[in-house]
Structure 1
Amino acid sequence: MIDYAAILTILVVTTFSGSAGALALKKGMNDLPKLSLNSVLKNGWIYLGSFLYILSAITNIILLKFLDYSIAFPMTSLTYVWTVIISYFIFKESLSFRKVLAVILIIIGVFIISQ
């Protein structure tokens, strides 16, 4: 029997950690005084972002064990939803009508595919 709560938890961890990882890398790159290997290796945000990306990849692999690829892969589009939300609060990016509409359409699409 499939434990839907566990699958949902793995999906949230996969999508949120992927989005947070990308945003941590963005923050790390924004904080660099200049682009050099030395400054990248000394930036904690780069390490955090890399860790979160790896976590996302591992949980995505686990997710593929329990869901068909045709369902699991489209569900990872929820990463874009997290990205819009986190970008709004962390980077103070604007939320246009188009962004909000796109997020709503992604959520509706994921719901339809999961049925």
Structure 2
Amino acid sequence: MIYLILASVFLSSLGQILVKYGAGNLDLNFATGAISSIIQILKNVPVMAGIITYGLSFLLWIKVLSKVELSYAYPMVSLGYVLVMIFSYFVFKENITFIRVLGVVFIITGVILIARS
């Protein structure tokens, strides 16, 4: 079941990266043109791919929750923070500080402790 958890977390993180990538090409103004903003979103391939990826992640998550205790599975979601930070570094060239790396070490340590329980 750990593989389904990790797959769900990976797909969720990938969805976030795709939405961020596509959002850079959007010029949304819901106050003056909600319909035109929604159409922009629907026509944006990376954003729509991200939404579909989120959907797949959600379906896997439902499967996970039907088989695993929530107190075991949910902390694994925090690995998404780690994956998003790594993706952000390579895809968006975001700065990763020592403090962020230290935070990731704490997250990974916590997940390892939970996985071993």
TM-score (norm 2): 0.87
1:43 match: 44
* 1:38 CA drift (Å): 2.2
2:8, 2:58 within 8 Å by CA — same for their partners in 1?
yes
TM-score (norm 1): 0.88
Q: Does 1:22 align with 2:4?
A: no
- Aligned-pair CA distance for 1:66: 2.4
Query: Aligned partner of 1:19: which letter?
Result: S
Instruction: Compute the displacement of 1:43 (Å).
Output: 0.5
What aligned pairs does 1:1-115 form with structure 2 within 5 A after superposition? 7-32=1-26, 34-35=27-28, 36-115=37-116
Aligned-pair identity in percent equals 38
Gaps of 5+ in 2: 29-36
Classify the secondary structure of the residue corresponding to 2:51. helix
Q: What residue in structure 1 maps to residue 34 of structure 2?
A: none
**Partners of 1:113 and 1:12 in 2: CA distance:** 14
Name the CA distance, whole Å, in 2 between partners of 1:114 and 1:8: 9
Structure 1 stretches (4+) deviating beyond 6 angstroms? none
For residues 20 and 113 of structure 1, what CA distance do their matches in structure 2 show? Answer: 23
Which runs of no fewer than 5 residues in structure 1 stay unpaired? 1-6
Count how many residue pairs are aligned between Structure 1 and Structure 2: 108
**Partner residue, 2:31:** none
